[in-house]
A and B are shown apart, each in its own frame.
Chain A
Amino acid sequence: MSFEIPDDLYYLESHEWIDPDTGRIGISEFAQDELGDVVFVELPDEGEELEQETEFGVVESIKAVSDLYSPASGTVTAVNEALFDRPELVNDDPFGEGWMLELDIDSDLDGLLSADEYADQIE
Chain B
Amino acid sequence: MAEKQPAVRMRHISKSFGQVKANHDVDLDIYGGEILALLGENGSGKTTLMNMLSGIYFPDAGSIEIQGKPVTIASPKDAFEHGIGMVHQHFRLVNVFSATENIVLGLDESEGFDLKAAAEKIHAICEAYGFDVDLNQKVYEMSVSQKQTVEIVKLIYRGADILILDEPTAVLTPQETEKLFAVLRNMRNDGKAIVIITHKLHEVQEISDRVVVLRKGENVGEMITAESTTQQMTNMMVGHQVTLNIERPTPVDPVERIRVKGLTVRDDEGVLKLDDVSFSAFGGEVLGIAGVSNSGQKELLEAIAGLQGVESGSIQYVGDDGQVQELTGKDPYQISSMGVALSFVPEDRLGMGLVGSMSITDNMLLRSFRDGKSIFADRKAPRELAEKVVGDLEVDTPGVDTPVRRLSGGNVQKVLVGREISSSPSVLLCAYAVRGLDVNSSYLIYDLINKQKQSGVAVVYVGEDLDVLLELCDKILVLCSGKVSGIVDARSTTKNKVGLMMTRLKGGEAA
Q: Do the two chains belong together in a single complex?
A: no
Q: Which A residues are within 8 Å of any B CB, using their own CB?
A: none
Q: Which B residues are within 8 Å of any A CB, using their own CB?
A: none
